[in-house]
């Protein structure tokens, strides 16, 4: 069983839709939760990160962590064609290690 599971998609939505991207994980020691965005032919770039449980908002993006369910989400409001990319969740433990575990990534297409 993978430590981090992420549906690869693809997910296709119309412009303006609310997008929900999700990951589940098995290691209860994970404390930092990150979302990276990767455009075609580019390296991933950090979009948001949260520590422990709760929500974090940044413009049209909201990251949500539910540690009791071992489930994290990224919501994109008013999605734009420029949001079309692969979104990778990533997570790591707080202390004693730096190793970041990445999900497989979900491909998102936002149609104009």
Partner 1 sequence: DADVTQTPRNRITKTGKRIMLECSQTKGHDRMYWYRQDPGLGLRLIYYSFDVKDINKGEISDGYSVSRQAQAKFSLSLESAIPNQTALYFCATSAGLAFDNEQFFGPGTRLTVL
The SS3 assignment for 81 reads helix
Compute φ and ψ for 31, nearest 5 degrees: -125, -30
Minimum CB–partner distance for residue 94 and partner 1 (Å): 9
Whole-angstrom Cα distance, residue 96 to residue 86?
30
Stretch binding partner 1 (CB under 8 A), from 9-17, 60-68, 75-83, 101-109: 101-109
Shortest CB 26 distance to partner 1, Å: 15
Q: Is residue 58 near partner 1 by the rule CB under 8 A? A: no
Does residue 92 bind partner 1 (CB under 8 A)? yes
Q: Quick check: 6 binds partner 1 (CB under 8 A)?
A: yes
Q: In what order do the strands lie in the sheet with 61-66?
A: 4-6, 19-25, 71-76, 61-66, 54-58
Q: Are 23 and 105 in contact (CB under 8 A)?
A: no
- According to the binding rule CB under 8 A, does residue 34 interact with partner 1? yes
Q: Which of 19, 65, 85, 88 binds partner 1 (CB under 8 A)?
A: 88
Residue 100 · residue 85 · CB < 8 Å: no
Tokens 């981090």 sit on residue: 4
Which residues sit at the interface with partner 1, rule CB under 8 A?
A: 4, 6, 8, 32, 34, 41-46, 49, 51, 88, 92, 98-100, 102-105
């Amino acid at each position: 069983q993978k430590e981090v599971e992420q549906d690869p998609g693809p997910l296709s939505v119309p412009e303006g839709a609310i997008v929900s991207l999700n990951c589940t994980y098995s290691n209860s020691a994970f404390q930092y939760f990150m979302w990276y965005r990767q455009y075609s032919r580019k390296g991933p770039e950090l979009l948001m990160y949260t520590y422990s449980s709760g929500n974090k908002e940044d413009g049209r993006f909201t990251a949500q962590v539910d540690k009791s369910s071992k489930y994290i989400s990224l919501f994109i409001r008013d999605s734009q064609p420029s949001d079309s990319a692969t979104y990778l969740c990533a997570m790591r433990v707080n202390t004693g290690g730096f190793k970041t575990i990445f999900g497989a990534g979900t491909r998102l297409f936002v149609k104009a």
